[in-house]
Structure formats: C-alpha cells, structure tokens
C-alpha cells in the first residue's frame, strides 16, 4: 500500500555477508579483476567503482562464499563503524564490513541511505560503547529499520536523494577546479612573470617557486 511504512530487521531484507581476507602471505591471491573493498574505499562515494586492492581469480575462489553481486549494500562494522557504499560489479570485502545482498522487497539505493542514518543503532548494536567498536553479523542483522512497504516509493525517495548527492558532488568538483585555476593564474602572474622580469634585468629571481597554501590564498583573495 502506497504511503505505508513498515519496520523490518536488516536480516530480513536480504542475505547478510561478512567479508574475509584471503591469506596475505600468498601474493597470487591479489591483483586481479575483483574489487577487494576495505574501509578506506568507503570514502563517501555511493558507488564503489574503484578500490585500492583487488583479488585474483585464485583469491576469489578462496572467498567464493563471500562474493557480492553488483547492487550489494555495504557498511563498515569494525573499528571505523558506519561507512557505507554500494558495489558496482562482483566484489569482495574484508572482515570489517558487513553487506546485504538485497531481496526483491528493498531498493539498494534506498537501503544505502537508510544505512547512512544508523548512528545510534550502531552504537547500541556495538554493546553501547563508542562507534569505534565491533558490530557483529548477528547484531547487524537484528537492527530494525523503517522503510516504505512500496518498492516504487523507495525508489522515488532514493532517486531524489541521489540527485541531491550528485549536485553536491558536482559542486565539490567545480570548487576544486576553480581553486586549481586560481592557483595557476596566481603562479603565472606573481611567480613566473616576476622571474621573467628578473632575467630580463639580468638579476636572479629571488621569489621561490613554491605552491601557496590555502591560508595564503584566502589573504590574497580578500
């Protein structure tokens, strides 16, 4: 029924998988086609399409029971708790991450946004300590969340939130591009050009060609 919200345990929304790490002493387990997702890879991106490490076919075979298909929703549950992401292709995670392979009752994007709001629930599931703790697979599976019963409503909400995220990310990239342009212009005007003038005068350039830090930029722009 449209508009109806229901309370469900995470474990009822799909298959919960806790990742593992293949033997690190054997380098042939790594460096292949499968993303091996660890907490640093959960860096604020919704879709985890690149990772620092990968697994080989051999490493993937060792962890075949932990294989995550595209669209699986991940959350870090040991050490730095609460970082989230969605797989974009068959992937694996280490043991610090619990994941849900969603069933047909929940939209993966919507579940991702639900996961990002689970701060207090994670603290409780981690035995009431700080968020830098251990949320076991059983406790993670038992966390209750609230979501629309209608899958289309979930998708509509997720679409709006995703659109906002995309705009935020676009603005962030634009800010980085503008800052790089300002740095280049400043260097061209006040570093490189001064050195050219000095050479024309037969002098040695005294201004060091060093990048400016953000504080210097702020004072210059003011």
Each of the 222 residues of the chain gets a pLDDT tens digit; together they read 567 999 999 999 999 999 999 999 999 999 999 999 999 999 989 999 999 999 999 999 999 999 999 999 999 998 888 999 999 999 999 999 999 999 999 999 999 999 998 877 777 776 555 545 789 999 999 999 999 999 999 999 999 988 887 777 777 778 888 888 888 877 777 666 666 666 676 665 455 555 545 555 455 445
This prediction's pTM: 0.74
Q: Supply the pLDDT for residue 23.
A: 97
Q: 160 in a domain, yes or no?
A: no
Q: Supply the pLDDT for residue 72.
A: 98
* Same domain, residue pair 182 and 213: yes
* Same domain, residue pair 180 and 137: no
Which domain CATH number covers 84? 3.90.220.20
* Same domain, residue pair 135 and 26: yes
* Same domain, residue pair 136 and 81: yes
* Same domain, residue pair 30 and 130: yes
Both tokens of residue 60?
A: 């993937």
* Same domain, residue pair 208 and 137: no
Strand-pairing partners, residue 48, are 87
CB count in 10 Å sphere of residue 120: 9
Handedness of CA 172, 174, 180, 182 (dihedral sign): negative
201 burial level (CB within 10 Å; 0-12, 13-18, 19+): exposed
Cβ 79 vs Cβ 21: under 8 Å: no
Q: 161 in a domain, yes or no?
A: no
Q: How many domains would you assign to the chain?
A: 2
Q: 156 in a domain, yes or no?
A: no
Q: Quick check: helix, strand or coil at residue 137?
A: helix
* Same domain, residue pair 41 and 122: yes
* Same domain, residue pair 145 and 181: no
Q: 159 in a domain, yes or no?
A: no
Question: Among 121, 149, 177, where does a domain finish?
Answer: 149
Q: Supply the pLDDT for residue 219.
A: 52
* Same domain, residue pair 181 and 144: no
* Same domain, residue pair 134 and 189: no
Question: Among 149, 179, 198, where does a domain finish?
Answer: 149
Q: 163 in a domain, yes or no?
A: no
Q: 138 in a domain, yes or no?
A: yes
DSSP annotation of 74: E
Q: 158 in a domain, yes or no?
A: no
CA 211 – CA 70 distance, rounded (Å): 42
Domain encompassing residue 196: 168-221
Q: Quick check: helix, strand or coil at residue 134?
A: strand
* Same domain, residue pair 92 and 193: no
* Same domain, residue pair 98 and 185: no
């Amino acid at each position: 029924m449209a508009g109806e919200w229901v309370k469900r345990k995470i474990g009822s929304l799909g298959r919960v998988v806790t990742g593992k790490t293949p033997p690190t002493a054997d380098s042939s387990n790594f460096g292949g086609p499968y993303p091996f997702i660890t907490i640093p890879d959960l860096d604020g991106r919704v879709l985890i399409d690149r990772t620092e490490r990968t697994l080989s076919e051999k490493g993937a075979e060792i962890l075949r029971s932990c294989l995550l298909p595209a669209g699986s929703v991940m959350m870090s549950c040991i050490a730095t708790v609460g970082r989230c992401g969605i797989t974009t292709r068959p992937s694996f995670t280490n043991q610090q991450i619990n994941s849900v392979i969603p069933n047909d009752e929940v939209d993966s994007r919507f579940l991702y946004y639900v996961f990002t709001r689970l701060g207090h629930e994670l603290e409780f599931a981690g035995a009431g300590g700080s968020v830098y703790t251990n949320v076991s697979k059983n406790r993670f599976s038992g966390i209750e969340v609230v979501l629309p019963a209608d899958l289309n409503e979930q998708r509509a909400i997720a679409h709006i939130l995703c659109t906002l995220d995309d705009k935020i990310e676009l603005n962030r990239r634009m800010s980085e591009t503008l800052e790089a342009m300002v740095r280049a212009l400043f260097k061209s005007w006040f570093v490189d050009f001064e050195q050219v003038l000095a050479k024309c005068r037969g002098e040695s350039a005294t201004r060091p060609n060093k990048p400016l830090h953000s504080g210097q930029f702020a004072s210059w722009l003011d």
